[in-house]
Structure 1
Amino acid sequence: MSLIVVAAVAFCLAPCLVAAADTVSARRPLRGNDTVVSAQGKFEAGLFSPGSSGRFYLGIWYKNIPVHTVIWVGNRASPLSNATSAELRVSPDDGNLELVGFTADGSAAPGVVWSSNLSLSSPGSSNNTAEIRDNGNLVLLDGGNSSNVLWQSFDHPTDTLVPEAWLGEDKLTGVYQRMTSWRNAEDPAPGLFSNTIDTNGTSEFFYFWNGSRMYWRSGVWTGRVFALLPEAVNNVLFNQTYVETPAHRRLSWALYDNATITRQVMDNTGQAKQYIWVPASQSWQFFWAAPTVQCDVYAVCGALGVCDQRSQPSCRCPPGLEPASENDWRLSDWTGGCRRSSPLVCARNGSTTDGFQALTNVKLPDDPLALDHAKSKAECESACLNNCSCQAYTFSDGGGCAVWHGEFRNLQQLYADSTASGSELHLRLSESGLRDLSRGSKKKGGVEWPVVLGIVLACVAALVASALLAWVLLSRRRRRLRNMANEKGSSLAVYSYGDLRAATKNFSERLGGGGFGSVYRGVLKDGEGNSTEVAVKKLEGLRQGDKQFRAEVNTLGRIQHVNLVRLLGFCSSGDDKLLLVYEYMPNGSLEGYLFKAGSSCPSWRDRYGIMLGVARGLAYLHDGCRERIIHCDVKPENILLDKDLCAKIADFGMAKLVGRDFSRALTTMRGTVGYLAPEWISGLPISAKADVYSFGMVLFELISGRRNADLQGEGAGQSSSSGAAGGEEEEDSNGGSDADAGRRVLMFFPVWAAGKVAEGEVGAVADPRLRGDVSEEQLERACRTACWCIQDQEEHRPTMAQVVQALEGVIPVHMPPMPRALQNLVNNPLPLCGMPLLFMQGCSKAVVM
């Protein structure tokens, strides 16, 4: 999916002034583009048309949110062909709320396309009224008693659940409330995915494909949460409750802060997704999803489709197949599946020229048919070919022969690091389809003589042309890099190598460095004799340096924020002379400020200001830019401090730009041990939540004044945490002996700190050098926020926008659960040297504190 794929869709609305009413009645219907608005202006009801569909629906949406977001649809399966002749009214005959108009199927006369469908026989029924309330509930009120609600939209949810709404069972009527996905972004007709409470009477909720196949469950209500839902769902923004009475059993939820705008959607990709409206970025921010992994949704890619968690989008067609509907796939509706580019050829007598294409390392589709009589792969293949309805087969020595007839579903691509074991599936294709695949392979590297001759001729032409183009390429390279300074409104300066060499006194005052080069202090003078202190980053290494150079200029050249280091200009004078010029930070890096031996102890006020500055900078990168930027290497060394101790995030050489149509990126593991999120180490695609994890680790270091992970022992040097604390060497709390000499011991502070936070002893986590001079309320907020940030599962972590709100005190921060990986460290502290999470090698034991 993606920067985040937001479930909100742009809707085509009539570009005319719309009249807004308070209520709907028989005497005062809504016609055409008229709407009814809630008392405080939070919600609006009327007709809308999704996308470019040209179909019209009765809906409810947020009134004051610029991204038109519908929370309820009336006539989902019966759209109107136009809005001008439509009318929402209270029926003068029976008092029902009804929508009248021309249906999109070409009806000759207007008719009732949707109704509240109640059996009303009271004399005053024609006086009933309808109104939209500030919680988004459309209600039909008794004309004789306005406090009596006859019908309400909350009893009939579509794909969205908002605060104060509910899901469950009405025991009096036997009706179940359920959320059902839209078919796609432009069609609110009921899709294939839905959820509802257990019909057998338990408190558990189930997610279904096609109303029959269960693919996810919430777990039963524990009295506080649903057993299989992350605790973050019930702790950060709202209080989720389950209630059972003689009249109903249902789930509902209420906000801690009524100013928060959030909604839960049964997405057309089969996941229930929670979104929060972020006013700063004017967008919906993804919060969590269930199931958390897209490919855990049954048959999300439809018949013959392959779900690949590491691709964007997650669904693709196997070789030789294509989407059954390109338009549906464009709208992220993959449930129509795939079809063969060339149809199978099979005579009634079973003769065929079809063959098979092997799909390796896949999770096999569901519901295979075992063929016990086929004892070898050849016999299994022959049995499939001799049956015209056979679509695929698999054979293994342990599992024997299995075949699939008709359209199989739920095929998944696996990878080497997957916990599940993969198999080989042989997909049936026509002879022409196999020939097309073979021809495509030859185009990629075959040895047919015409192809070889073409390659030779192309190479000769390239050699002849290369001499003429060499000087053009060299000049274009410099011109292209200079043009980078002018892209997207940037004001970057272009410096010569000689200017920067003179400014840095031949690169004599080194400020620091990393894997991609060194940073030097310099002084630049303008034509009027004014001097400006700068930091010049000299990238070292040709190919790698050029890549990092481009990444950093392209990233920083398009963004400006008070908490991001400012790139002033650059120099490109040959592959070995790539330099970046930044504003100078007189207080250096946060690493030196916190951990350098002999440095003064930063005050709590300064630390909290740095926390907020870094959080705001990351929130801007994730949500405030045209493209989401994942920094990928958040650590104290990459946080710089100006003369006023304003924190500025630096070093964007590893940053990853993610388009707004995607929520995550697949990238090789990089960064710094101790700050890497678990999903990154596991080789999974990363999202902005990887930065959140790293920030949580930095937060612990700011709070405690010590490194999170220290190595002590021969060859490791003195612990930086002990150095920061005054130079006293810490003892091995496990009672080290002479036998441990020459070995290294891992000191992982967050294990102990998270335990103290869970026990409510946050004061023990603060830097002892502060001698208790801290704000207890801020300390508790920072500690709890840090624990939320370092949760194992990325969907449990807050967004950086939420982190900013938490640190600012805008939203409450409730007690976080102990991260499971850290809990394992607490329960099993010794055998950690080989833990993949930490990538520590050569240590003999690990110490929790």
Structure 2
Amino acid sequence: MRPANLFCFDVTVAVVAVVLATATPSVSGQRPDYPTANLSTRWVNNAAVLPHSVTYSDGSAVCTIVLRSPQTLYGPSLAAGFFCAPPCQAFLFAVFIATFDSSYGISLEENNMARVIWSANRASPLGENATLELTGDGDLVLREVDGRLVWSSNTSGQSVVGMQITEHGNLVLFDQRNATVWQSFDHPTDVLVLGQSLLQGMRLSANTSTTNWTVSKLYLAVLPDGLYGYIESTPPQLYYKHGVSTEQKGKDLTKITLTNGSLSFFVQSTQAGKPDDSIVLPEAKSTQYIRLDSDGHLRLYEWSRFEWTMVHDVIDMDNCAFPTVCGEYAICSGGQCICPLQTNSSSNYFQPVDERKANLGCTPVTPISCQEMKNHQFLTLTDVSYFDGSIITNAKGRDDCKQACLKNCSCRAVVFRYYQNDSDGECQSVTEVFSLQSIQPEILNYNSSVYLKVQLPPSASAPTQKRIKAILGATLAAISSLVLVIIVGIYVRRRRKYQELDEELDFDILPGMPMRFSFEKLRECTEGFSKKLGEGGFGSVFEGKIGEKRVAVKRLEGARQGKKEFLAEVETIGSIEHINLVKVIGFCAEKSNRLLVYEYMPRGSLDRWIYYRHNNAPLDWCTRCRIIMDIAKGLCYLHEECRRKIAHLDIKPQNILLDEKFNAKLADFGLSKLIDRDQSRVVTVMRGTPGYLAPEWLTSQITEKVDVYSFGVVFVEIICGRKNIDIAQPKESVQLINLLREKAQDNQLRDIIDKHSEDMVSHHQEEVIEMMKLAMWCLQNDSSRRPSMSMVVKVLEGAMSVENCLDYSFSNANSVLSTQDNGSTYSTPPSASILSGPR
């Protein structure tokens, strides 16, 4: 059966009433009025191959695979195919509603753009030349140009015979009897169309913005007693509720359905088809759909007079009552966003994220530190309320409520509501503060105050009595020590001045130094450090933009700790460049501010792709092999091709970053060590991450072979698709390296291959097992028996083979220490630095 042509919307080409994506004969049992695609059909997202794609005036574009013609001459049509939002740099496989003019070409009117009602891969957009295939065994598969699996319907072997799109916009895979095997309605995104239901446990999740299709924190969920709107936090915070009475029936709410004129709520009942409750909506005069928008509103849209219009807001609340209307910490008052200020005080504890964009919210001037809990106090905001009133703390009064928060570092604010007696009210503890709302108690008939936790400098937080004693003591001692104090002060001041001068000179004279930026420049390019990509042991990483180039800016925190790591990282990789090392573009060193500017790595760190924390599709074997090779080449360069050997000393998945095409690069050289070529080994204190430490760390005498051991651990994690130390596993499987030893001794290595990857288990099993032997070579307890990284590269290239007679008694420094300390074979390691977002 030959592949079908891909039919795309085009303003210059008239289309027939129903476009089919294949020219193959009809499948027995299928309905002829439904546009249908048959098995063994493949479509390629390429404008050169598929010339009928169309780009809209706003920069978006669509290209259809299956299409239902409009019900009226000028009405909208339902289609499935590739869609990209402006500026059209990434594509979704989506179901969308598109509109036509009288000649059936797509209208270029601004409000006539295609509206996406479902998408398969909004967390992982595609590039050009990506493919969609309805395979011969009935699986609908979406792949990147390099063959990486992005999304699948997982219907292989379930008797699927074709794909169709219904009159309601439901993308369906059906079998020989025309029964539904898979349908998009079972996997809602942010939209409900007429006839579509949300079942109990399902949710609508809003997009981050109109052009950013990643899932935001806002979602609507169907629970047993109603429809609830939340913003994701720990725990989730409620901003909307439409409850349904289920006590009389003693049964749960089963589904919510968008019908013509209402959003209907169905409770388990003997009266089938009759809703038990509903939200009244304007009756449909044309095509309608409901979308949970990025601001948290649930809006009803309708096609009217040749354009889309918003006809109703289902969530009828004041705009200031939505959790993201003013970003974090800001107060919404009369539609305006302002940062919190202490009543009758000149102290300023919060500042805008962006002075020109007040709706982006505010940030604390001094971040909350759990190590300085004695310096935590409250900023009092009267006549201010908070959107979530669902979680009430068991507190006897206002003071009890505040004290409980001060004792809990995760608590960031307290909301206290009362009606008459201010000592007897409702207390709420908040762990993540979103938008606040100014209220008028005389209108609402209740009072509310918010107490925001702030971090005070040590001097400002000392009790008044202690300050008085300190002043008296200093006064009594001043007469006898005045001269000494002046001398010491002058000495310290001069020494500090020269130290600062020396430090600045150190930065200026470093050889091969990358570009130097001012702190203000980096604050501007990161929009006030507003978009955090992640944080680790030495600081946080933020997304930024210098000119047209996206960058990742690492801001080191902690002056004592940060200076050494900062100098190590700049000196180590500032003057070297390799395709498998993350490039340092520049740095900043102004007083206590130390920042590094790196190239941006859009796929983030390796851990997010092999630990399955983001429900991502498994990496195929080819991609995993390429990543392993990239890591090996990067380490080989550091160990053998630099003037002085560089031991990274912190090789782990969180420090391996991936570019758009899944090429791997090593990052985070804050713990690295330079080794002279004539040194056989160096003595240094233990450093790195538990679980990745070689046994010789116990002696403090190490070589670059500690990196080879860590590489071996990462190697095994990539193949097995799990963490090295995972307490969620059964007790005997907590430590992956111990499990590897047992399976190797029993000749059962196939048991630990990543079960998520059908590709590895079914098609490359023997090759995977051979690769495990290379990983075990790297894990030898005796460092002299481990291969050099150049030997590893040669094995991967097929130029040499793995050494025979491997020792399977693997161990690491962390497990040995745990055994010595408490007699246990396992102890929970401290949390590793995690930077898993794109950077």
> Shorter-chain TM-score: which interval?
0.3 to 0.5
TM-score relative to the length of structure 2: 0.38
Structure with the larger RCO, 1 or 2 (CA within 8 Å, 6+ apart) = 1
